[in-house]
Structure 1
Amino acid sequence: MSFTIIFLIIAIANIFAEYDFVSRLNLLVKPLICISLAIYFVRNAKMNAGFNRLILAALILSFFGDCLLLFADEYASFFMFGLVAFLIAHVLYSLAFFRDFKNNPQAPKTYGHLMLFLMGVFSMSYYSMIRDYLGDLRIPVMAYVFVISIMVILAGYRYRRVNLLSFRLIYFGALFFVISDSTLAYNKFVEPFACSGVVIMGTYMLAQYLITIGSIERVVVTENKAIN
Structure 2
Amino acid sequence: MVSLSYVVDFLWLLKIIPIALLVFAVLKTEPSPSRNILLLALVFSGCGDLLLALDEFIFGVAAFLLAQLSYAVLFSRYWQGILNRWPLSLVLILFMLGMTWLLIPNLGELQLPVIAYLFTIAAMGLLAVQSSLPIRWAVLGAIFFIISDSFIAINKFIYAIPFESYWIMSTYYVAQFMLVTGFLYAVKQQKEV
TM-score under structure 1 normalisation? 0.76
Shift of 1:85: 0.3
Provide the aligned C-alpha RMSD in A. 2.2
Q: Which moved more, 1:23-32 or 1:128-137?
A: 23-32
- Matched with 2:12 is 27
Give the AA of the match of 1:71: L
Q: Is the 8 A contact 1:100 1:220 kept in 2?
A: no
Deviation by residue 1:63-97 (Cα, 9 ceiling, x = unmatched): 1000000011xxxxx10000000001000000011
Q: 1:80 aligns with which of 28, 41, 58?
A: 58
Q: CA 1:136/1:177 → structure 2, altered by over 3 Å: closer, same or farther?
A: same
Q: Distance in 1 between matches of 2:40 and 2:127?
A: 18
Question: How many residue pairs are counted as aligned between the two chains?
Answer: 187
- Matched with 2:164 is 196
* Alignment of structure 1 residues 55-204 onto 2, 5 Å: 55-72=38-55, 78-101=56-79, 109-111=83-85, 113-159=86-132, 162=133, 164=134, 167-204=135-172
TM-score under structure 2 normalisation? 0.88
Q: Distance in 1 between matches of 2:17 and 2:173?
A: 11
Secondary structure of 1:30 counterpart: helix
Q: Is the 8 A contact 1:115 1:152 kept in 2?
A: no
Q: Any stretches of 5+ residues in structure 2 without a counterpart?
A: 1-5
Deviation by residue 1:97-137 (Cα, 9 ceiling, x = unmatched): 10111xx65xx9331x2343222211111111121111111
Secondary structure of 2:162 counterpart: coil
Percent identity for Structure 1 against Structure 2: 30
